[in-house]
Structure 1
Amino acid sequence: MKILREGDRGYALASERGRVEIVYEYRTVELEKSNATVRNVLVGVDAETGEVLTVPAQSTPRLKAARDATKEKVMSVRMPRELDDVLHLVADHYHAAPKQFASAVIRYYLTLASSDADMARRLSALSKSRLATGRCRKNLRLRVQPELLVWLREVTVATEGATRSDLVRGAIMAAKEDVLDDRARQRQRALGAIAQAV
């Protein structure tokens, strides 16, 4: 794939004028359907009028990410404060920033459970543990893709009525067991890679 640079030139079709010369520039792009604004996107601009005529392939993933971000849902979960302590301990284990890493850990376990019925049952069972069933005084906000929310709705039926909150609390408890209690080396390595990425 050819990567274009700012200042590169080319040609594109302009309505009513046909083929015109363009220059590639970084601009702020407004996405019509999602009302999202994306800054610093490389686009092909009419050299005479300044009108945006084309978006190169290298810019489409940024625009797609901005569109997808508007589709993300925020899930709010009530949990015992001790589970927040667990998330901080797991983050500290990997020398990661707790705020970003905590969400990634939870999404990791929920995603595993979405394709593994045994993991789903494990999260459901762990949500009933003494530590996970304390007084829920902490509110956790978690961004998730709509597909994961759909799966969470489906799994509540398959796991004898476990709620989304139960599965999130179970995910935190699974991280405690796997990392802090040193039970699952493979998942520890995967979480280590996630910690380095966030």
Structure 2
Amino acid sequence: MKLYLQGDRGKALCEHCQQVVGITYTRRDVPFSDGNGQAREILVGVCDQCATTVAIPPQSTPAIKEARRQQLTSIEARLPAVYLDVLDAAMHSVAEDAGVQMRKLFFSYYFSAPLVPALEQVHDGFAQYLAQQAEVRQIPAVNAMKRLSLKVNHYVAEDLARLLQATRMTQTELLKSLIAQIRLDVLEGGNPAVIADLRQLVRLGL
């Protein structure tokens, strides 16, 4: 791999000028194409005619990835371990090779889906189901908790914010309620259309 230095020159196709132009490698801030954030002071090839960034050398890629990573929003919650077991079981039901990284994909789907009516009642029903199962199986109550940590882009973060506002739930309550809904849709087979959507998303995400 060639190492480019500031001041190096070359040629590249400039979309703005619609022709091959001379370029000079220099350092500048480069905004992301979606308009959300930028990579600062990275080495890029700049068109000598219109000053547009037209080339990014491989050595600048790690800095761009790190800048993009820092634009992600963190979603954190401590949930009863059984809730994450249910979520992971649903993911496995949709795709046997789905790993925990698919949790973000499932939540992203439900954050952007039309609001499910009576979401709190769905969660109440799930809590009652767990209590009944513990009684039937004569299993003592277990309060094991696990941490859920997701890194999402600003689109998913905005979907979550809208859903929180619409439901007036806390973030933890909402996540627990959505897992209860996922159980109904996937593990109980109540929504074949949702299962088909999730299966397609998982295929794209694997």
Which of the five TM-score ranges fits, normalised by the shorter chain?
Answer: 0.5 to 0.7
**C-alpha distance in structure 1 between counterparts of 2:163 and 2:110, whole Å:** 12
Aligned AA (1:73): T
TM-score, normalization: structure 2? 0.60
Q: How is 1:80-119 mapped onto 2 (pairs within 5 angstroms)?
A: 80-93=80-93, 94-112=95-113, 116-117=114-115, 119=116
Indicate how the Cα distance of structure 1 residues 34 and 82 shifts in structure 2: closer, same or farther if over 3 A, else same.
Answer: same
Aligned AA (1:172): I
Q: How is 1:15-164 mapped onto 2 (pairs within 5 angstroms)?
A: 21-22=22-23, 31=30, 34=37, 36=39, 44-45=45-46, 53-56=51-54, 69-93=69-93, 94-112=95-113, 116-117=114-115, 119=116, 121-128=117-124, 129-130=126-127, 135=143, 137-144=145-152, 145=154, 146-157=157-168, 162-164=169-171
**C-alpha distance in structure 1 between counterparts of 2:41 and 2:105, whole Å:** 24
**C-alpha distance in structure 2 between counterparts of 1:170 and 1:28, whole Å:** 48
Q: Tell whether the 8 Å contact from 1:34 to 1:70 is kept in structure 2 after alignment.
A: no
**C-alpha distance in structure 2 between counterparts of 1:80 and 1:31, whole Å:** 43
What is the number of residues matched between the two proteins? 165
Indicate how the Cα distance of structure 1 residues 38 and 172 shifts in structure 2: closer, same or farther if over 3 A, else same.
Answer: farther
Cα displacement (A) at 1:44: 3.4
Unaligned runs of 5+ in 1: 1-6, 14-19, 48-52
TM-score, normalization: structure 1? 0.62
Aligned to 1:191: 198
Aligned AA (1:126): V
Give percent identity, aligned residues only.
21
Q: Considering only aligned residues, what root-mean-square deviation do their CA atoms show, in Å? A: 4.3
